[in-house]
Structure 1
Amino acid sequence: MLSVLHLYENHFYGTIPSSLFTMPSLSDLDLSVNDLNGSINFPNSSTPSMLEYLYLGQNHFEGKIIEPISKLINLTELDLSFLNTSHPVDLSLFAPLKSLSVLYLSGNPISPASLDTSLDIPTNLESLLLQDCGIIEFPNILKNLEKLELITLSYNRIKGKIPEWLWNLPRLTTVFLKNNSLNGFEGPVDVLVNSSVKELNLEQNCFEGEIPILPLSISVLSTQYNRFTGSIPLSICNCRSLTDLLLGYNNLTGPVPQCFSNLTFVTLRKNNLEGSIPDAFYLSSSLRSLDVGHNLLTGELPRSLLNFSSLEFLVVDHNKIKDKFPFWLKALPNLQVLILSSNKFYGSISPHDQGPLGFPELRLFEISNNNFSGSLPPRYFVNWKASSLMMNEDGGLSMEQALVLNSYATIGFSGNRIEGQIPESIGLLKELIALNLSNNAFTGHIPLSFSNLSNLESLDLSSNQLSGTIPSGLGTLSFLVYINMSHNQLKGEIPQGTQITGQPKSSFEGNAGLCGLPLQETCFGTNAPPTQQPKEEEGEEEEVLNWKGVVVGYGPGVLLGLAIAHVIASYKPEWLVKIVGPNKRRSR
């Protein structure tokens, strides 16, 4: 006899056959993510439905479908999220479902009256998802849910303070309140101390004042994009279970605590933190992501970062750090993102042996606006590669990284004093999407190997001392949306291709010897030398950089910055990246 029927993510349309609800042995029915419509009708039957798991989310039902569903008294899990119905959901209609433990209602309007504490609701609820439901006040009905473990109220319009009673729910472990208008906590500063909460997301609200004292059970905390002030509480160091701490985009001051060695993800970006990054990271550390960009930090990069063999993401941009280029970081086998821009770094960025740079897994390399000097050897970009990141069944990365890390390959060297020729080996980076070498002292010709960068979308070589002609192969790069070669010593005809002739003339100004569109100077009748033709690479076997480009937006000189900003904003643990919603089943 059929007990499980999963037909989700197909293209079924029309109404649901009423006979499905009376099949004697069917206990698990999943019709979510289809194009079903109409209403739900149950045939007259003296035998109650045996359905325990019913998933109807992301369809196009019409009318009031909840009242008939409330007759399925054996339900334990019910997904009605994103139904596209205009009728507000009345939570009291679920009262007959005494065994219901999981209820997904995200994406539906909720009747405000049904959120009142005096109304009945299944008291066995363990997970309740009310994301994007147009809720404007904190639902007092939650007071009755003594077994509640997970509550999602993100993407609503809730104002005011989080009620003190929420933290008294004995089994509550996961709270998502992202993107509301909440501004504080009811109760004393230690209101959270005795809570059982382990994961707390307060992102994108209006919280002010100091970060409250956290419960010792906390494992994940995100307060990003708020107005918290004061220093990072030292009590955080007592939270031995804490792994993910995201406090970015607030107004925090004071030093960076010295107890982050036990954490996995740390984001302190865009605050007003002072002092140096603590040199107190121990060998057993599991840190994978450290972002302290846009603060007031000084000193050098702590050498104890070498103890983080799992470190993948290091961002310290827009501080006052003064140090030489950290070649020693190449000992970290998993480092994929290194952003040092807008600090006081100085000295050569070339290895002492003048060989390849030596960061085999690096995907995003941004060192702009420092005081780096020296030249790049011909083999500088040899041996760069990237391992592929596999997607898991929930759509997140198996390494708990944001999808963006599999989508960008960018290099930014602008605003330094780097000289010499641009290495031909840059042509090995076959899936590079953004390259900015502007405002340096590069000389010589533009490498012919640029023609191999078939995925390149943004190229900025402006304000250098480059000479010769522009390789004609650049005119064949079909994804090249932005190019800037202004203020060099280039000559000859600008390659004529759709992507180049569509650029503004300012992209080629400041080169007295250049002619052709988009400049007004014509090459007709002149003795301008022909543009260089690409030739086959010989010698070394190419090392392919297996990166994948994704367009996020364009404009003069901004693609690299957008890519970096998007990487920083998106690199989060999987629990923050995914939207808890339909078809996210509990194990059973």
Structure 2
Amino acid sequence: MTSLIGGSRQPFCFLLVLLLCCVSASSLFHAKDPVDGLATCHPSHIQALAQFKSEFDSSSCNQTDYFNGVWCDNTTGVVTKLRLRACLSGTLRPNSSLFSFRHLRYLYLSHNDFTSSSLPSGFGSLNKLEVLSLSFNGFKGQVPSSFSNLSLLSFLDLSQNELTGSFPPIHNLTKLSVLSLSYNHFFGSIPSSLFTMPFLSFLDLRENQLTDSIEVLTSSSSRLQHLLLGHNQFERQILKPISKLITLTNLDLSFLNISYPIDLTVFSSLKSLTYFDLSGNIVSPTSLSSISGIPLSMEELILSGCNIPEFPNMFKTLHNLTFLDLTRNQIKGKLPAWLWSLPFLTTVSLFNNSLSGFEGRAEVLVNSSVQVLSLDSNNFEGALPHLPLSINTFSVERNNFSGNIPLSICNRNSLVVLDLAYNNFTGPIPQCLSNLTTLSLRKNNLEGSLPDVFYAGSSMRLLDVGYNQLTGKLPKSLVNCSSLEFLSVDHNGIEDTFPFWLKDLPGLKVLILRSNKCYGSISPPHQGPLAFPELRIFEISDNNFTGSLSPSYFVNWKTFSDKRNEDGSIYMIYKGKEIREAYAIYAHIDLRYKGLSMEQENVLTFYAAIDFSGNRIEGQIPESIGLLKELIALNLSNNAFTGHIPLSFTNLQELESLDLSRNELSGTIPNGLKTLTFLAYVNVSHNQLKGEIPQGTQITGQPKSSFEGNVGLCGLPLVESCFGTNVPPTQQPEEEEKDNEVLSWKAVVIGYGLGVLLGLVIAQVIASYKPEWLVKIIGPNKPKYR
């Protein structure tokens, strides 16, 4: 499972610096009663604080949160420190009342939503500031020249915005200790004055468009310890000037677009270097064999994607090494036995190479200090070696390991993550693996049944045994896995009824039962909503499921909301929406999407997908499906659905793939489908539909095969013209709007469970108007449940 330990790694000391800053902030703004927090503040400043709050949408922060971020001087009552993060939304105007706090020494405004704002020049008037953090705010444009007035600043963080222009005016900020401008759009050269600043120890300029070389005056003119320049576009020589910065402990030069091979001996003068990231650059193979190529003080070394052809023996001398990343290279042969004797080595990531085995005996790894080991996507074969006693995470997916899963794994008490997917393992699944947090055995040749030994309080979060030869039933003890979020048993021989009992798992987000021998109704015994509120991906295709679905089948599914994490953690962006990273589960699924069966790797579960295809489900498609507004893919093909296509489909604004083919659907295609901007694939073939196909780009751009087999359909992309024929019209927008209102009403009545009696009373009142949709839902043709 490469996502757990692969990719770029933040420098430990970089995180430590920010952590210390946050700890300092926490001590200044510790949680207390809001009245006590403002007790020392002058009334005029309290009024100004309220005025500042009123300039924004502050619905994300309550009164306590807002005023607990305020600290006033005990003597004068003026505001000296202000911390408001992940709270405010709106435009920070040039005349904001914020700039009236002229005595501010500490201002922390990160993770707010100022996306339409430029950086106001008013910040320059706060010339008593010592700490200024404006990261993750969406600021645009250039940094105002007034920032040069902030001569007392020791900490300046403008990272993760949309700032542009040449290097900001910081030449007067001689007291700076920490400067972070990363993840912006600054271009041009880095001023040499940076390296003469007497206190600057931390400089982060990653992810910009800086191009010119660095000029360092003398080796003693800089006190820099952390220099992070990764992901820029340096065109000239920068390595020799950097080699003069002998105080460096952390250095990130990843992905610098340097066209020539880098000689590692250039950095031999950096005797104090403990963290070094050179990923994405070509490293000279000869320099990898030099003893002086890497400083002996090295603790964390990242050389991912550097075209390294063989395992460097020079690493044998790095006795302080704790973290080694050689992913995405071309390393062949066997891993050397001496690697496992490095005394402090805890993490080794070697995925995406061509390694074939291990030197030494099968027990060569046992006494290693390694806790995290990733060997994914290599050429290892044969039996698994005996794992280190200290192992925590072991991932070897996409190799050629074979034989039984060794029972020696049961003696690794610290093991919590095990990924053996895409190998050739045979035999049964050891019962002890139920103790893990993450277990992926996907695409092997395992036999027998899933062990029914999951104990109460199990920490299992992800279980994937898809594409094996497992039989029997789903183990009922899975209900003990209260943390389970991802369950996939697809493409096996499991023969069981639908596991309604899994409803007791509060956080289950992914349920995949595809291609087994499961049977029976998928409607709950009470014939109401499906009780899986957190479910995001529901895949039960190619089984023998039967029955019909109630109109309220999907009303218990929660509508996803993009609220901020209280600690201000990073958000993910999906189709313009900010989405918290914690909602993501990294795993594999096979999804029938846009007419194709494809494997989705590292699937993110902040979207929803449903696949009921290849069963014998009958009755009407539930109207409540229109409540699933994050639905990306919907496949109900090859069933026995009848009735109309629900008008509520037009609410599925994120829908990309819709397959309703090979059912018994009748009526017209809702005209609102043509308004679904992201809808790239539609298939309604082989039904009993009639009328004109909605004439919109998303629909008429589909192939003819998506509509064939419906004798009553006409219009593009079919050859049959609707002109001059007496065909039923498509639904009009007014009718769709009415139906959307009805759907909202249904969500309130059914989703919040007002009770059967009250529901019948309301239904009786509304039924007096006899709208057509109501007759279909609660009238004499109401579906029967099994």
Query: Do they superpose with TM above 0.5?
Result: yes
Partner Cα distance (1:473, 1:136) in 2: 56
Determine if the alignment matches structure 1 residue 415 to structure 2 residue 415. Answer: no
3-state SS in 2 of match to 1:354: coil
- What is the match of residue 308 of structure 1? 481
> Cα–Cα, structure 1 residues 81 and 432, in superposed 2: closer, same or farther, change >3 Å?
same
Of 507, 511, 527, the match for 1:334 = 507
Determine if the alignment matches structure 1 residue 449 to structure 2 residue 648. Answer: yes
> Cα–Cα, structure 1 residues 530 and 10, in superposed 2: closer, same or farther, change >3 Å?
closer
**Equivalences for 1:521-532 in 2 at 5 Å?**
521-532=720-731
Of 20, 37, 46, the match for 2:194 = 20
- What is the match of residue 171 of structure 1? 344
Aligned residue pair count? 543
Letter in 2 for 1:294: Y
**Equivalences for 1:7-156 in 2 at 5 Å?**
7-44=181-218, 47-116=220-289, 118-156=291-329
- What is the match of residue 582 of structure 2? 398
Letter in 2 for 1:209: G
Q: Identity percentage over the alignment?
A: 66
Partner Cα distance (1:506, 1:399) in 2: 37
> Cα–Cα, structure 1 residues 532 and 12, in superposed 2: closer, same or farther, change >3 Å?
closer
Deviation at 1:179, TM superposition (A): 0.5
Q: How far does the alpha carbon of each residue in 1:401-447 deviate from its partner, in whole angstroms, 9 at most, with x for none?
A: 34843442111111001111111111222221211111111112222
Determine if the alignment matches structure 1 residue 253 to structure 2 residue 426. Answer: yes
Is this contact kept in 1: 2:328–2:353, CA < 8 A?
yes
Structure 1 range deviating more: 214-223 or 463-472: 463-472
Deviation at 1:454, TM superposition (A): 2.1
Letter in 1 for 2:492: N
> Cα–Cα, structure 1 residues 115 and 313, in superposed 2: closer, same or farther, change >3 Å?
same
- What is the match of residue 508 of structure 1? 707
3-state SS in 1 of match to 2:463: strand
Partner Cα distance (2:693, 2:249) in 1: 68
> Cα–Cα, structure 1 residues 306 and 527, in superposed 2: closer, same or farther, change >3 Å?
same
Q: How far does the alpha carbon of each residue in 1:474-516 deviate from its partner, in whole angstroms, 9 at most, with x for none?
A: 2322222111111111222222222111111111111122222
- What is the match of residue 394 of structure 2? 221
3-state SS in 2 of match to 1:411: strand
Partner Cα distance (1:44, 1:338) in 2: 61
3-state SS in 2 of match to 1:211: coil
Partner Cα distance (2:218, 2:362) in 1: 57
- What is the match of residue 280 of structure 1? 453
**Equivalences for 1:150-299 in 2 at 5 Å?**
150-299=323-472
Deviation at 1:335, TM superposition (A): 0.4
TM-score when scaled to structure 2?
0.67
> Cα–Cα, structure 1 residues 115 and 382, in superposed 2: closer, same or farther, change >3 Å?
same
Of 670, 683, 687, the match for 1:488 = 687
Q: CA RMSD in A?
A: 1.9
Is this contact kept in 2: 1:417–1:440, CA < 8 A?
yes
Q: Indicate the structure whose relative CO is greater, using CA pairs within 8 Å and at least 6 residues apart.
A: 1
Partner Cα distance (2:743, 2:491) in 1: 41
Partner Cα distance (1:258, 1:493) in 2: 58
Letter in 2 for 1:199: V
Partner Cα distance (2:693, 2:456) in 1: 54
Determine if the alignment matches structure 1 residue 357 to structure 2 residue 530. Answer: yes
Partner Cα distance (1:182, 1:107) in 2: 20
Is this contact kept in 1: 2:559–2:627, CA < 8 A?
no
More helix by share: 2
Deviation at 1:128, TM superposition (A): 0.5
Letter in 2 for 1:467: S
Letter in 2 for 1:14: G
Is this contact kept in 1: 2:648–2:743, CA < 8 A?
no
Is this contact kept in 2: 1:126–1:150, CA < 8 A?
yes
3-state SS in 1 of match to 2:334: strand
> Cα–Cα, structure 1 residues 191 and 374, in superposed 2: closer, same or farther, change >3 Å?
same
Q: How far does the alpha carbon of each residue in 1:158-200 deviate from its partner, in whole angstroms, 9 at most, with x for none?
A: 1111111111111100001011111111111111111110001
> Cα–Cα, structure 1 residues 466 and 79, in superposed 2: closer, same or farther, change >3 Å?
same
Of 460, 467, 470, the match for 2:669 = 470
Q: How far does the alpha carbon of each residue in 1:11-43 deviate from its partner, in whole angstroms, 9 at most, with x for none?
A: 222222222212222222222222222222222
Max radius of gyration: which structure? 2
Is this contact kept in 1: 2:422–2:444, CA < 8 A?
yes
Partner Cα distance (1:157, 1:267) in 2: 26
- What is the match of residue 560 of structure 1? none
Deviation at 1:65, TM superposition (A): 2.1
Is this contact kept in 1: 2:483–2:505, CA < 8 A?
yes
Partner Cα distance (1:242, 1:394) in 2: 30
3-state SS in 1 of match to 2:648: helix
- What is the match of residue 566 of structure 1? none
Q: How far does the alpha carbon of each residue in 1:286-332 deviate from its partner, in whole angstroms, 9 at most, with x for none?
A: 01110111111101000000001110000010000000000000111
3-state SS in 2 of match to 1:228: strand
Is this contact kept in 2: 1:51–1:72, CA < 8 A?
yes
> Cα–Cα, structure 1 residues 198 and 153, in superposed 2: closer, same or farther, change >3 Å?
same
TM-score when scaled to structure 1?
0.89
Letter in 2 for 1:501: T
Structure 1 range deviating more: 33-42 or 533-542: 533-542
Q: How far does the alpha carbon of each residue in 1:92-124 deviate from its partner, in whole angstroms, 9 at most, with x for none?
A: 222222211111111111111111154453111
- What is the match of residue 567 of structure 1? none
Is this contact kept in 2: 1:369–1:416, CA < 8 A?
yes
Deviation at 1:387, TM superposition (A): 5.0
Partner Cα distance (1:120, 1:432) in 2: 52
- What is the match of residue 745 of structure 2? 541
Is this contact kept in 1: 2:249–2:275, CA < 8 A?
yes
Partner Cα distance (1:225, 1:354) in 2: 43
Deviation at 1:400, TM superposition (A): 6.7
Is this contact kept in 2: 1:270–1:292, CA < 8 A?
yes
Partner Cα distance (2:426, 2:710) in 1: 47
Letter in 1 for 2:438: F
Letter in 2 for 1:35: Q
Is this contact kept in 2: 1:208–1:229, CA < 8 A?
yes
Letter in 1 for 2:707: F
Partner Cα distance (1:285, 1:118) in 2: 48
3-state SS in 2 of match to 1:143: helix
Is this contact kept in 1: 2:642–2:663, CA < 8 A?
yes
